[in-house]
């Protein structure tokens, strides 16, 4: 098995659709500038309520990516 070293960063994605969509938005956006993303870990889920209904989701996650070299 190859040994890896990972770096992690914290992101917050948002979506009016769902918490899963907020995660997807964050990872897809990060992948435009961060290479070799390998994992994510959700650390917080919160939302905005308007008129008694969920109006917006915010999900904070850590993503890990492998270091080159």
For residue 69, what pLDDT band results from cuts at 50, 70 and 90? confident
pLDDT at 12 over 70: yes
CA 14 to mean position of chain CA atoms? 9
For the residues 45-49, what does the mean pLDDT come to?
97
Specify the pTM.
0.88
The length of the chain is 69
Lowest mean pLDDT among 1-5, 32-36, 64-68: 1-5
């Amino acid at each position: 098995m190859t040994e890896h070293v990972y770096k992690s960063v914290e992101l917050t994605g948002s979506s009016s659709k769902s918490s899963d969509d907020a995660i997807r938005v964050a990872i897809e956006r990060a992948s435009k500038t961060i290479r070799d993303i390998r994992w994510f870990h959700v650390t917080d889920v919160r939302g905005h309520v308007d008129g008694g209904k969920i109006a917006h989701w915010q999900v904070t996650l850590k993503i890990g990516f492998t270091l080159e070299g």
